Amino acid sequence: MTSTKKNSHDALAHVTAEIGRLLERGVMPWRAPWNAELAQAMTPGLPLRSTGQPYKGANVPLLWAAQLASGYARRTWLTYRQVLQLGGHVRKSEKACPIIFYGRAEAKGADGSNSEEQRTYRFLKLFHVFNIEQCDGLDLPREPSAPAVVDLPALHEWVRRAGAQVRIGGDKAFYAPSVDSIFVPHVATFLHEEHWTATLAHEAIHFTGHKSRLDRLDDYATDRKARAREELTAELGAAIIGAMVGLAPYHLEDHATYIADWLKAVRDEPRAFFSAAAKAQAAVDWLVERAGPLLDEPHLH
């Protein structure tokens, strides 16, 4: 096995094992199975790199899970080398969190030279990061404060700007590809307005899967595995949107019935979780590209 293939295998094995372990316990790391207010205080947004840019894809729920499990109030994660480069050091006995690096490489010819027709391919590599609270001697800018929760009309308008038709009423929340519309019960029927907002975010991710957009839904109605993968994509996408707009990392709908399907998927298909996370990120990026940013630039505290 080549070094690149081995690194990709190790990375996939890590994601599969970690997500499988959490799902076995009934824990979905993109939701908080803890007190919602405490979880919101501990995870006020997306996990950040040393540059202040957010992590993406599968690394988001992996770092959320690590942050919640260790009780870190900060959400900046750095490699060991980055800590040293910034003049700090990692305290003794601190353990790193393994995450995924997404890379591209050029294919080589049989003799090791570059082929005439250059072909690039993507690969995964496992690497390790430390939370800023595991380090001493760092003088990084304060992280952006948690965004104030975006109000219901603002998210509703944002989803409409992306081109979605949102129909209010009925007793079920779903996206119907046949009429290309999102259906959501009236906000008064929800326990909290935030639950309505989270539900709309979930259905907005489904909306991006239409064949005229990101084309993910061909087998959704007939294939149980495809349906489980799409629901996982929507769950992860909604969690990312929630972090962007200040929602606590939980969701109204109880998708516990999907846990067994998700667990089977990540075990049967090593790339299942990675693929769902990548599709969720692509869906969020698609919505932001069409509708613009949800919030103004965050303020520092």
What local confidence, expressed as pLDDT, does residue 267 receive?
76
Instruction: Using pLDDT thresholds of 50, 70 and 90, give the confidence band for residue 92.
Output: very high
The per-residue pLDDT for range 64-74, each reduced to its tens digit, is 878 877 878 88
Mean pLDDT over the full length of the chain = 80
pTM to 2 decimal places = 0.78
**Confidence bin at 251 (pLDDT 50/70/90):** very low
Confidence of residue 292 (pLDDT cuts 50, 70, 90): very high
Q: What is the pLDDT of residue 5?
A: 58
Q: Is 198 helix (H, G, I), strand (E, B) or coil?
A: helix
Quickly list H helices, the chain: 3-24, 36-42, 59-70, 80-85, 152-161, 193-207, 224-245, 259-268, 272-291
| Residue 161 tokens, joined | 């700007």
Give domain limits for the chain: 3-136, 152-291
Q: Are strands 120-131 and 97-106 parallel, antiparallel or unpaired?
A: antiparallel
Cα distance between residue 28 and residue 239, in whole Å: 11
